[in-house]
Structure formats: C-alpha cells, structure tokens
Amino acid sequence: MTTRTCERCKGTGVSCLGNTCRLCGGTGKIDPPDVEAITKAITTSRGASKGKRRFRASKPKEGGPRAYYVWRMARFHGGADVSMPVCAMMDIEGDPFEPELDALASEVAKVVFGTDKAAAYRWANALGHDLSVPDGMPASAYPGGPVHDGLADVLEG
C-alpha cells in the first residue's frame, strides 16, 4: 500500500480552522496502517499462555487513534460493547484507510469474540428492522440484552 491523500484536510495539510491538520501532521498524506503495530497495541502478553497474546480489556495506551479505533470497533462488532463508538469514529475521521481499519476490526472481532455481527443485529432491531438473531450470539446482540458484556478471549498470534 502507498500513502493516500488525507481526507480531513483534502491534502492541503491545513485544518478548517487554519491550523496544521492533526490527522496528517500537515503533510496532506497518510501512511498505510501498520497492522503488526496495531495488533501489538490492542493485545498484551499479560495473562496469556506463553507465546500468545490476549486482547486488551481496556483502551490501548500505545498505537494512537488507529489502534484505539480497531480495538473499539472489534469490541463493538463482537458484542463486548454495543454502545455507538462515536469517539473512535471521530478520532480517525478523514483517514483514507478507514475501510482497511474496519476490515481489521472485523477480523479481530471474529477471532476474539467469535463474531463481527453482534452490534449489527442489536442496532438493526433497534432501528426498526425485524431480524431474527441466530443462536450463539452474545447476549448483547439481542433486543433488551446488556450493552456491555465484558467479553475477552485470547487472540492467537
């Protein structure tokens, strides 16, 4: 992957307030995501089997907005926290690699939580659709279920 134009400042390097764009640092370009660094930031070896890593129970301190976004969206899609991830979305607004970050979050959700559809079922039904939630989904996927399950599992790798 190569760099892409920052969508927040439209490649100018200047924010709408006339300041240096905080997303691209004034370059007008954004580098591709470092999947290895993001994966490391959203996992920890603490409490995991030797040679394994565990999905972090709390917000990653390292890795910046992209790591937080992937961590939060994985929790959202996986059903650990189905409240809207507005802050995570705002943090990467204008990142031209958002589709790739979303795909990574979905894959992490599948590995860690066994699904990337829990929030989709929860919110589709909340928005008036009548979807039958399949058996085996986290309790948060069902209408009236908890918003936060506190789910965590081992992320292999």
Provide the pLDDT for residue 131.
85
User: Positive or negative CA dihedral for 41, 116, 107, 33?
Assistant: negative
Percentages of the chain per state (helix, strand, coil), in multiples of 5: 35, 10, 55
pLDDT tens by residue, 28-78: 999 999 999 999 999 998 877 787 888 998 999 999 999 999 999 999 999
24 to 53, 59, 119, 143: CA distances (angstroms) = 30, 23, 30, 40
Q: Provide the token pair at 129.
A: 């659709």
pLDDT tens by residue, 119-154: 999 999 888 888 899 999 998 998 888 887 554 444
CB under 8 Å to 10, separation ≥6 — which residues? none
Distance CA 62, CA 67 (A): 7
Distance CA 148, CA 103 (A): 22
Say if pTM beats, i.e. exceeds, 0.85.
Answer: yes
Count of other CB atoms within 10 angstroms of residue 102: 16
